[in-house]
Homo-oligomer: A and B are copies of this chain.
């Protein structure tokens, strides 16, 4: 297929590389030009302007936030230039509200639109092992299915309204952030009881929590490996805010989201905004009166 790709951040670069390697005819665009080089080396074409990426069968976008969509024009103007048969596959993590806005903009310009949100960090993206939640008109989702299966091992259809993929993403991220809080409190308790948190980590991750989220986050917290961040605490708060906003709109109280929001704000107030979001666990340690000197 002829595939355009806009947004070569850490996640996007991995996904795009896999699509090029799978033999598709890929044209990439990115605001900063240096991100284009590795893709070019793999065999991708580079677009001089974003609109060139909308002339094929599929456009994949992986942008950081609403502003990025706006500055590229993907929330409207650029859509007027899209190829008639184009399906836009948006993999970005955005608010449910903006997701709805984008879906409406595509409908207005008659451009097929699929939201395909992804779970997994950059290394998982590079390995083509993301989990993908796709939503949109069935015909459009089916058309892009081969591409989704290059991104991820597991691809699930979650509804015809594109925003549903975004709600799945924010709900899943809420569960992920909860793992950090969960470890934060448990580590604080065992540390204050004089138990080696490494031993506790071994116990809980050997059986019931033998899952990547627990093994990975627990390890990072134990090592206080907060820099460089895999995902910043500031962006983590944004994700929690997305979940709370979705809950607000639908009148769904999310007390875990409320707790996480408060702890993220506290972590930011204490200077952790640009550190890895697992550093939120320091909040629980600090509340228990544990200083860094207390690390086992």
Q: Please list the residues of chain A having a beta carbon within 8 angstroms of any beta carbon in chain B.
A: 119-120, 124, 129-131, 133, 153-154, 156-159, 161, 163-164, 167-168, 170-172, 174-176, 178, 181-183, 185-186, 188-190, 192-196, 199-200, 202-204, 206-214, 241, 243, 246-248, 250-259, 261-263, 265-266, 268-271, 284, 287-289
CA of A213 to CA of B168 in the docked complex: distance in angstroms? 20
17 more A-B residue pairs beyond the given contacts A131-B207, A189-B246, A252-B288, with a C-beta to C-beta distance below 8 A: A119-B204, A131-B208, A154-B202, A158-B200, A164-B193, A164-B195, A171-B186, A174-B185, A248-B261, A251-B289, A252-B269, A253-B284, A253-B287, A258-B259, A258-B261, A262-B287, A269-B289
For A187, the closest partner residue in chain B by CB is B171
A to B CB contacts below 8 Å, 13 in the list:
A130-B207, A133-B203, A154-B206, A156-B199, A156-B206, A170-B189, A175-B204, A178-B181, A178-B182, A208-B212, A252-B288, A269-B287, A269-B289
Name the B residues within 8 Å of A258 (CB-CB): 255, 258-259, 261-262
Distance in Å from the Cβ of A157 to the closest Cβ of chain B?
7
Distance in Å from the Cβ of A258 to the closest Cβ of chain B?
4
In the complex this chain forms, how many copies of it are found? 4
Name the B residues within 8 Å of A200 (CB-CB): 158, 168, 171-172
Name the B residues within 8 Å of A156 (CB-CB): 199, 202-203, 206
Name the B residues within 8 Å of A167 (CB-CB): 189-190, 193, 195
Known: A178-B182, A203-B158. A195 touches B212 (CB 8 A): no
Known: A203-B131, A203-B156. A190 touches B171 (CB 8 A): yes
**Is A256 a contact partner of B182 (Cβ separation < 8 A)?**
yes
For A204, the closest partner residue in chain B by CB is B172
CA of A241 to CA of B249 in the docked complex: distance in angstroms? 12
CA of A133 to CA of B124 in the docked complex: distance in angstroms? 32
Distance in Å from the Cβ of A30 to the closest Cβ of chain B?
27
Name the B residues within 8 Å of A287 (CB-CB): 252-253, 262, 266, 269
Distance in Å from the Cβ of A187 to the closest Cβ of chain B?
8
Contact of A288 among B129, B257, B269 (CB under 8 A): B269
